[in-house]
Structure 1
Amino acid sequence: MIRRVHGAALLALAAATFAPFTTAPAVADAPFTAPRVTFAGTAPGTVTATLHNPNDRGQCWAEAGIGPDNNHAFFGEAKPESLAGPGQTVETSLTGLESGSTITARGGCADTSPAGGYELGETVTVVVP
């Protein structure tokens, strides 16, 4: 038995059948990653970090462990101009270090979205000029 399907019924059937294919998928936030950072001795007692925030959100910083007790310090004293916003690259320095000593340094990024959290980069050893 062959039945005719009227135009309105065919349109409703097609819309119901293909609706899942036309609905846009939910877009997830891009993965949140640690900063890209390089450290270099730039003057006697000074180490400079070139810090890039590869994310579309959050802020990134550079930090160090200094001396035999690995005392914590932020490059640029964590002032706003020493922090890299989304997609930004900044240069920031740590001064007053003992020439010839070594520090451990790394970068980190804090996710300021509702998801929160943070990512830390690899720790490296830097010789202070």
Structure 2
Amino acid sequence: MTIRRLPLIAATIGSATALSFISGTTATATPPLAPPVIEDIFAVTGTVSVKFHNPNDTGVCWIYNEENGEIFGGDNPTSFATPDGLMIQTSLGNGQLPAGTMRVRGACAFVPPSTGGSDHSSITDVYVVELPTNPNTPPTGSFG
């Protein structure tokens, strides 16, 4: 029984292959974007800043706090790197972030997340940043 079906399967596959060559159509997919290139990350009391650029010839890139998704620069259009290759510096915190660890990531997509394009084509590895303690913070009186 198996021997009889083999020629039928081969004929079907051959017909489908021939049809695709005759029609001249090929399946093309949009290639994924590369992640943003992060040049520098630095922290001062209450603020984390990142310098980065978009290595792609399309799409936009941004930086965000991995823990809560907050976009650096407040989702302001000037905080997104476009395909022109310009270096962008963007910040988060404006002096208000607590001391401690922040996990920072960059992402690129074909449309900015503010337009509903939250699906990104690529993301960077996580960068762990230590925010320094504010030397002007008054003591809490707690010793434990």
Question: What TM-score results when the alignment is normalised by the length of structure 1?
Answer: 0.64
**Aligned match of 1:93:** 91
Closer/same/farther in 2, CA of residues 33 and 80 from structure 1, 3 Å limit: same
- Taking only aligned residues, the RMSD between alpha carbons, in angstroms, comes to 2.1
**Aligned match of 2:8:** none
Q: Distance in 2 between matches of 1:72 and 1:32?
A: 20
Shift of 1:71: 2.4
Larger of the two Rg values belongs to structure:
1
**Aligned match of 2:124:** 121
**Count of aligned pairs between the two proteins:** 93
Match status 1:56 vs 2:57: yes
| Post-superposition CA distance 1:54-87 (Å, at most 9, x none) | 111110000013xxxx323110011101000002
Closer/same/farther in 2, CA of residues 117 and 98 from structure 1, 3 Å limit: closer
Q: In percent, how many aligned pairs have the same letter?
A: 35
Closer/same/farther in 2, CA of residues 31 and 40 from structure 1, 3 Å limit: same
Q: Distance in 2 between matches of 1:118 and 1:89?
A: 20
Q: Which runs of 4+ in 1 moved over 4 A?
A: 28-31
Corresponding residue SS for 1:73:
coil
Which runs of structure 2 are paired with 1:55-94 in the superposition (5 Å)? 55-65=56-66, 70-86=67-83, 87-94=85-92
Q: Distance in 2 between matches of 1:51 and 1:117?
A: 17
**Aligned match of 1:7:** none
Question: What TM-score results when the alignment is normalised by the length of structure 2?
Answer: 0.58
Shift of 1:110: 0.5
